[in-house]
Amino acid sequence: MAEVLVPFQELKDLCASKLVKVGVKPEHAEIVADVLVHADLRGVSSHGVLRTEHYVRRVQEGGINLNPNIAVKETGVVTAIIDGDDGFGHVISKYAMEHAIKKAKEKGVGVVGVINSSHCGALSYYVKQAAEENLIGIAMSHTDKVVVPFGGAKPFFGTNPIAYGFPAMKHKPVILDMATSNVAFGKILHARETGKSIPADWGVDSNGRPTTNPYEVEALLPFAGPKGYGLAMVVDIFSGILVGAAFGPHIVPMYGEYNKKRKLGHFYCAINPAAFIDVHSFLSNMDRMIDEIHECQPAEGFSKVMVPGEPEQLHEEERMKNGVPVPESVYNYLTQDRQI
């Protein structure tokens, strides 16, 4: 399917407008749209504006609380639990990381668990919040079962992403944001939207067999076999069991049961380098590490060795200038009620 190039601010406005029309508070719609377009700018379309239609449906069917009372329970000097009251995960998560950042600046570390949330989008957005304050950011979130455990044929854990953000001085932050599956399920959705086939190591069919047809995918595969499977369990412990949320097969699914509150858990942490080392020294050594990685001899077929998150940063720079490619079906959905 064809794609449409859309200026990033227009795309953000279209997304926010779509949400406001179904009763989302403008300030909340703005945050959700900002997180979604952040993903599209970075080339992570699986977590971009294609999710808007899903959120609208969940709002319309009662699966998201439009007027949440987001409450903070201080559980220790550097720890807290935030109850999102079933609101938008993007809004709750941005607030949670802001709270972790505040604690990190005051006490060296801020660790915030989140309960009663919903899908929060790309975790890179939240670790970037910390990195822009010269702090290290860590984020994790469990999701509903869609990934087969190593050696299994049926799903147990979710894609269970984890992200880290590290500030530098002259360079942009190093950001690692990855699903513990080979890919996020949103990439399967994007392949369906664009009519493309997928690699055989992305997902399996109803019989647990690998498939290249995105419409046949019933579950995803963990990355690196037992390693991705093990990390998925770690993420579910941190963002599920540790904070008092559900885990694995007990989580309300994202697709279907749109009237149910998902009660998701997340885990956010901000670390102040100043608690360990002179900040200037930390930032300058980050720059040195990045420079030395860039100086590594590239392998055949590569023009340059990059650090985690750098390809996404280059996408962002290009798309902010030239527009964001959006599947035509998604663009049509976002603009169908637009007033000229």
pLDDT digits (tens, 9 = 90+) for 135-189: 999 999 999 999 999 999 899 999 999 999 999 999 999 999 999 999 877 788 8
Give the tokens for residue 275.
């608690």
pLDDT digits (tens, 9 = 90+) for 294-314: 999 999 999 999 999 999 999
With 60 as the cut, is the pLDDT of residue 88 above it?
A: yes
SS3 labels along the chain: CCEEEECHHHHHHHHHHHHHCCCCCHHHHHHHHHHHHHHHHCCCHHHCHHHHHHHHHHHHCCCCCCCCCCEEEECCCCEEEEECCCCCHHHHHHHHHHHHHHHHHHHCEEEEEEEEECCCCCCHHHHHHHHCCCCEEEEEECCCCCECCCCCCCCCECCCCEEEEECCCCCCCEEEEECCECCCHHHHHHHHHHCCCCCCCCEECCCCCEECCHHHCCEECECCCHHHHHHHHHHHHHHHHCCCCCCHHHCCCCCCCCCCCCCEEEEEEEECHHHCCCHHHHHHHHHHHHHHHHCCCCCCCCCCCCCCCHHHHHHHHHHHHHCEEEEHHHHHHHHCCCCC
Region 62-77: mean pLDDT is 98
Q: Give the separation between CA 150 and CA 134, rounded to whole angstroms.
A: 37
8 close to 41: Cβ distance less than 8 angstroms: yes
The mean pLDDT of the chain is 95
Region 60-65: mean pLDDT is 97
Categorize the per-residue pLDDT at 2 as very low, low, confident or very high, splitting at 50, 70 and 90. Answer: confident
Q: What's residue 183's pLDDT?
A: 85
With 90 as the cut, is the pLDDT of residue 290 above it?
A: yes
With 50 as the cut, is the pLDDT of residue 80 above it?
A: yes
Which of 20-29, 125-134, 194-203 comes out lowest in average pLDDT? 194-203
Q: Which residues pair with 267 in a beta bridge?
A: 113, 140
Region 324-336: mean pLDDT is 94
The whole model's pTM is what? 0.94
Taking each helix axis from N to C terminus, what angle separates 26-41 and 8-20, rounded to the nearest 10 degrees?
Answer: 140
Categorize the per-residue pLDDT at 1 as very low, low, confident or very high, splitting at 50, 70 and 90. Answer: low
Q: What's residue 340's pLDDT?
A: 42
Which of 113-122, 147-156, 239-248 comes out lowest in average pLDDT? 147-156
Which residues are identified as catalytic?
119
pLDDT digits (tens, 9 = 90+) for 181-237: 998 777 888 898 888 999 999 999 999 999 999 999 999 999 999 999 999 999 999
